[in-house]
Structures are given as structure tokens and as C-alpha cells.
Structure 1
């Protein structure tokens, strides 16, 4: 099971469980105690016929946090994972996407495959509702639909926004829609991409981003999806509209600077509105606020 399949495992509930364990003594807590604190029966007056019914939701949430690697289970005790150091509430989203993309854990590969598909869409007319995604998946993927359905697309929407791959919007009289814009996620990755460097070639930048998060161009999962379904056809050294849009956005926010040198290897960024040839990226040491 993954966050797409476990409808109880929404980002807000996962964050609530995480905060409880984070603020517990030595970041450890008896699992039964955690369940009762997070889902007290007194707040569930309609399920008194089954004293365990009110715990189903939070048990689903805790089970999923263990599967993704956020928590470790040791007998009746749950604790924060030792895999990631320096975890705080502020960098929770970044750490979760690192767990999702860990080579040691493929629990959420279905989410990453669906995300790869979504990032290949045109950001100006991406399928923003399940009805639209249903049609687009049927056309581009076929019967497998990447395992997506109405409920899973709802979960996908929650996690897309929380992890910084896009945002939710609506117009008067219409249902909420989502659109791909990984500016926030890339911003969170910038310290990991640049490390001790201030400037990287565009090729180094793309390769490091793809290694950290393989749903981007040249990433393992993005490449596998495209080889299987031939969704995206980009000329050599051209970035997708979505990635181009995100990098232009970060440039406008002054967290990065996009530069072109005539004697350097160039990539073409084009978001459908403007086009720029880029050879290197400078990091200014700040990013888009994480919210």
C-alpha cells in the first residue's frame, strides 16, 4: 500500500502524527498511547458500538508512516527514523520526498510514476481534475492508467501540493483544480544540489536534480515512464515546459540566476511563453518560502 491507496494517510494527518512523536521524550512513544492521543474515542460519539472503530483511521496513518520510513517500529514502540538526521517540522516535506525516492524503499513508486506523468503535461492546460486526468491518462497511458482512479487522484492532489510539486486553484463556480509547478520543491532541494558550490553548469544541475528526485528530466522513473508510453518528445538538451516554468519562477524570485556563456554547453528552457538558452545556474542562497 502507498499514500495513493491509503485514503487515511493525508499530509495533515501524517504531519500530526509526526509532530506528536517529534515532541515526545527521545522521539519515541508507545504505539497504543499515540493512537489514543491522536484519535480519542471521546471525539467519536457515533462509533461507541465498536471501541476500536475510532482507531482505524489513525492506525492507517501510522502504518503508512512506517512503510514510507518516517517512523520505525520496535515492538509496541514507534520512533522517528534514524535514516534522516536533523529532521524538523520545517523540513518535513523535503524529508518525505527523500524517503519516497530512496532506492531502499519502493513503497511509493506508484506516486512517483504518476508524478512523472503529470510533470510531462503542459502547465497551461494540465488535467487539473479527476475527470480531466481520466481522459488524459486513457489517451496517453491506456488501460493501466498508472493505477490511478478517483480516490487515488484525490490522494495525489493532497500530496502534490504538500510536497511542492504544484498547487491547487479554483475559479468561481468550478471545482478545485491542480497544476504542475515544482518551484517550491526545487527550491527546497537547492542546498542539496549546490552543496558548497555557488555556480553549477546547467547539465550538472539537471543531473543532480534527477538523482535526488527521479521524476524530473533524465531521472530514472521519468525515463522509464517515457520509454514505456512515449508521452514526451523533447529535442536534445531541451527542458520540459514544467521544469522551465519552475526555473524561470525561481529566477524571478531571485533565488537563482540563469546565465548563458557562448562557449559553454547550453540547454534550452521554454515554458511556452518565453525561451532562454542557459549554460549555468547561480544559487543566491535563498529560495521560495516553503509556507
Structure 2
């Protein structure tokens, strides 16, 4: 999809010929069958772009919607904004990626999600039931959701004894740091998490996160960071992006393993010369 996005942005208002795009994005080697025509990666990308409102089609021409032609943002920045940050609820069809990511972030990183087999889908069904599973109806669709979650910075994949998925939103957190806490700034951790959740609703306290957590019966405690967010905070600290401290007269948020006893009141972002 990133390739299609870049080609169409370069093409400008006139767009590009559909057959030419199909040959570039979905060559015959990627087709699902010998007579698949466009039944390949190209049609999947085109459908996704149309669902997001990013791509427009007109007979034999394909073009980007006007707001995205002059944008300097790459496809993933556009996608995370449309599929996650601007989503208010996971219920509509367009909210399924945000809902799937929120579900993954409700899981404890210590309880790894199997990449293959029925382990992940069994957990999904046990927690969510069969009616609304945010597109993760089988292990193949779960893997599709993981592809998005990983590309957008909310999970990682690791190969231990088997390949597993780890709810780890470190990359997504770091991507939003400038908007949440400027370099050299300091605030309470409670305020930091609140600002983060308003910017990205799948993080602790966000509207989509609360919706999904309520469905699976996950405890919601504003005084404690979830295990997935705690992991991201630890990694941000290890990378020198964030620092934490405890002041006895301030509001406390519990972050397991941080500052010894897990009690944190303030977070700061070291200045450029720190």
C-alpha cells in the first residue's frame, strides 16, 4: 500500500492508469491464481485505500484524494491517523483495526500471543465471544490485524521456541512524544497518560481502549499503568527518552518495576543537551 500511495502522490491530480498500477503493485507473480487478473495484491491495496477514503477510482484512472496529494506524510502516518488516532469507537466496520489493537494492548506482555495455530483466536473468543471480534475471526485474520498493529508501532513479533506476538507499544509511544510532552518538559504521569489517551484512543484511558476493556472485563485503574504501557514506559526510559521520579505530595501512578517500588508521580523528557 505504501508503494501505491507514493506512486499516486507523484502522479498528482491526473492520477495513474489502472492497468499500469496493477502491473507495478500486483505483478502476475503475486496473483492468487492463473486467471486472477487483478485478484492480487493490487486489488487488496485498492480496496483498502478506498475504504480509508485515501484513493479514488474513475473508470480506468486511480488517484489520491485531494487532501493527501500535497501531504508530505507517508502512508503509515496517514493510516495510523485514519485507522487509530481519529477513531472514536471500535464498533463500526472502520474501527476494527483500532479495536484489534486495543484488544492486544489489553493483554499482558508476559502472556505471549502465538503467531500461528489456534491459541490467539481461542483467547479472543474466550474474552470477546463470537459476535464482535474486531475482524479477528480466525488465525489468518488475526495475523492480518497483527501486521497492522506492528506496522503502526503497537506490537512486536519475536521468535522464541515459536514465533509470538508481544503487546509492546513503545514505537507508537515514541512517535507521539513530541505532541504529549515537549523536550525539556515535565508533568505528572497521570497527566501524561491522559494526554496520550486523548491523542491515541487505544492507549490506557482512551475511548476505544475503555470500550474493549469493558467488553473483556479487564480492570481499569487510573492509578496504575497497564502491563503493555508499563513495558513501553520502561523501554522509553532505557532509551533515555523519558525520566521518572516520585514526589510524596503528588498524585501517584503505579508502574510495575519503576523506581523500585513502582510508585511514580512525575515524568520528564530530557533536553537536547542532557
Give TM-score scaled by structure 1 length: 0.78
Alignment of 1:46-125 (within 5 A): 47=34, 50=35, 53-57=36-40, 58-73=42-57, 76-79=61-64, 82=67, 86-89=71-74, 92-101=75-84, 102-103=86-87, 107-125=93-111
Q: 2:187 aligns with which of 192, 197, 200?
A: 200
Q: 2:168 aligns with which of 168, 181, 206?
A: 181
How far the C-alpha of 1:64 sits from its partner, in A, is 0.6
CA distance in structure 2 between the partners assigned to 1:137 and 1:145 by the alignment: 10
Q: 2:156 aligns with which of 167, 187, 190?
A: 167
SS across alignment from 1:82:
helix
* Backbone CA RMSD of aligned residues: 3.2
Task: Tell me if the contact between 2:13 and 2:63 (Cα under 8 Å) persists in the aligned partners.
Answer: no
How far the C-alpha of 1:44 sits from its partner, in A, is 6.3
SS across alignment from 2:196:
helix
Task: Tell me if the contact between 2:205 and 2:222 (Cα under 8 Å) persists in the aligned partners.
Answer: no
Moved more, 57-66 or 27-36: 27-36
How far the C-alpha of 1:235 sits from its partner, in A, is 4.1
CA distance in structure 2 between the partners assigned to 1:83 and 1:18 by the alignment: 9
In the alignment, structure 1 residue 281 sits paired with structure 2 residue 264: no
Task: Tell me if the contact between 2:183 and 2:269 (Cα under 8 Å) persists in the aligned partners.
Answer: no
Cα shift readout 1:198-244 (whole Å, capped 9, x = no counterpart): 223222211221122211111111111222331x2244411111101
How far the C-alpha of 1:55 sits from its partner, in A, is 1.6
User: How many residue pairs align between the two structures?
Assistant: 264
CA distance in structure 2 between the partners assigned to 1:253 and 1:104 by the alignment: 31
Task: Tell me if the contact between 2:112 and 2:164 (Cα under 8 Å) persists in the aligned partners.
Answer: no
Counterpart of 1:9 in structure 2 is: none
CA distance in structure 1 between the partners assigned to 2:53 and 2:88 by the alignment: 10
CA distance in structure 2 between the partners assigned to 1:60 and 1:203 by the alignment: 41
Counterpart of 2:215 in structure 1 is: 228
CA distance in structure 1 between the partners assigned to 2:62 and 2:182 by the alignment: 36
How far the C-alpha of 1:155 sits from its partner, in A, is 0.2
Q: Which runs of 5+ in 1 are unaligned?
A: 1-13, 287-291
